[in-house]
Every structure is written in C-alpha cells, then in structure tokens.
Amino acid sequence: MSKAVQNSDVQSNERFDAYIVGKRKNRVFVIDRDRCKGCRICASVCPVEALFMSTDKTDRGYIYPIENGACTACKKCIYACPDFAISLHKSKDVTE
Ligand code: SF4
Ligand code: SF4
C-alpha cells in the first residue's frame, strides 16, 4: 500500500476500516471502502471466517467486508482481492 496509514486510520473513518488483528495483535488490518466493490471474494477465501459482509453500503453502492475479531493475519484475502482494497500493516508502524 503506497499510502502510509496514520494513527487516525486505526479507527474507522469515512474511507478506511482498520482493526488490530493477528495472534499477538501485532498487525493492523485495513479495508479501503473506496476501493471495495462488494464481490465477497475476501470473505469466501478466509480460512477462519473472519470476514462478513456489511448490511449497509458504501457511497458507491457496494456492501463491504467487516472483520469480526478472528483474523490471524494470514493475508489470503489480501492476495485474493481484485481491487486491492485490503492491506496489512505492522501495529507499531501505525500506533507509535
Ligand atoms: S475481495 Fe476486495 S473488492 Fe471484493 S468484497 Fe473483499 S475487499 Fe471488497
Ligand atoms: S488476513 Fe487471513 S485470517 Fe485475516 S481476514 Fe484475511 S483471510 Fe481471514
């Protein structure tokens, strides 16, 4: 991801949903709703069913994934997303 994630992005804002995730909670998992087209591929490939789809829609009219706390930071959804809407960052890079 070219854009550096700022501290404020760790909480949801108008564009990003960001969650502290991983076994040791050492990753920040970011969903860029401006990129997401609601295809559900990310949710379908997640081995621990950590993603479910929203009931509300983005400004562009798409549902989007929400992380439920089970994410192990395996990255499968990141590689699967055709719109590059998901990224992972080290927690220390965005919280210090
Ligand atoms: S795979 Fe990407 S575009 Fe599709 S729903 Fe997930 S985040 Fe959105
Ligand atoms: S990084 Fe892995 S565990 Fe986390 S939501 Fe994506 S597929 Fe699921």
Q: Between the CA atoms of 45, 27, 7 and 44, what dihedral angle is there, to the nearest 10 degrees?
A: 10
Q: Report whether residue 40 contacts ligand 1, using a CB cutoff of 6 Å.
A: yes
Residue minimizing CA distance to atom 8 of ligand 2: 46
pLDDT digits (tens, 9 = 90+) for 22-47: 998 899 999 999 999 999 999 999 99
Residue minimizing CA distance to atom 8 of ligand 1: 36
Per-domain residue ranges for the chain?
A: 7-95
pTM of the model as a whole: 0.88
The CATH number assigned to the domain with range 7-95 reads 3.30.70.20
Strand partners for 30: 18, 87
* Residue 6 scores a pLDDT above 70: no
How far does Cα 94 stand from its chain's mean position?
Answer: 14
